Amino acid sequence: MVGFETLKSGFGWSDEELYNHFLFDLQVRYALGLQDFDEEYFDLRTIYYFRATLCEYERTKSENLIQKATEKITDEQIKKFKIKTGLQRMDSTQIQSNIQNMSRIQLLVEIIQRLHRILLPEDIENNNERFSTYVKEDSLHYCYRLKRDETKTRLEEIGEDLNFFVNEYKSKYHIHSAYKNLERVFKEHYRFEEKKIIIKKGKELNGATLQSPDDTSATYRKKNGEGAKGYVANITETCDPENDLQLITTTNLEPNITDDQKLM
């Protein structure tokens, strides 16, 4: 399965293309060490189960098995090809997260909508009127109807509602990611002054604030005048001129606001 994922990523195949190559491409089967067409047959769903199992293992054990497998393969290649590793070079590159660019208000409304989706009907009933403003349409269309001079007032209203929802649903929904995101954005975008909810100014927000509920680890960084939401990949490669070939020895993926010194 690791070999399948490696080939898929390397060639940019879709899952369907990967499966067709497995079924009909002799070169792919040979690369995977399969000598017989009846050998190691599996259904496409097996790949999905494999990915889900990997993700669940990493979530519960905090261990990336793909990374461990890659490191083991690299160590074996270093031994087999007698690669000298004393001299290595390092480079980093920005990786954009595949998330929608949202305005501040759209993000906050989207977070409220996501909470609304997971609530049981009986937990919504008493707060239908408060929710009604946000759930009549998607978060983007909510912003379409908003005039510029209404922004501050609307942010104040959203802040009051966020604070209400944080307290209202904490005991029952605190373990849900939708609730955690709600609590997070309230803390990131608002503060209390003498028990009054105050909107934080734009300059008070930093790159670590939530960019999207679809990728809660992505961060924002502006470099050379261009903004990016996502991650930074740091790659280390052997570069000894006496080596017949060079190998990537380590890869590290971090939020893109991570300092370069911490990547080394």
pLDDT per residue as tens digits for the range 55-103: 999 989 989 999 999 999 999 999 999 999 999 999 988 899 999 999 9
> Per residue in 104-137, pLDDT tens?
999 999 999 999 999 999 999 999 999 999 999 9
**260 — pLDDT class (breaks 50, 70, 90):** confident
Predicted confidence band at 234 (pLDDT cuts at 50, 70, 90)?
very high
Q: How far apart are CA 230 and CA 218, in angstroms?
A: 4
Provide the pLDDT for residue 17. 94
**pLDDT value at residue 40:** 66
pLDDT given for residue 205 in this prediction: 95
| Dihedral angle computed from the Cα positions of residues 121, 122, 123 and 125, in that order, rounded to the nearest 10 degrees | 80
Question: Would the pLDDT of 140 be above 80?
Answer: yes
pLDDT band at residue 197 using 50, 70 and 90 as cut-offs: very high
pTM: 0.79
Question: Is residue 37 predicted with pLDDT exceeding 80?
Answer: no
How do residues 158-184 score in pLDDT, each as one tens digit?
Answer: 999 999 999 999 999 999 999 999 999
What pLDDT band is residue 194 in, cutting at 50, 70 and 90?
Answer: confident
pLDDT the model gives residue 35: 80
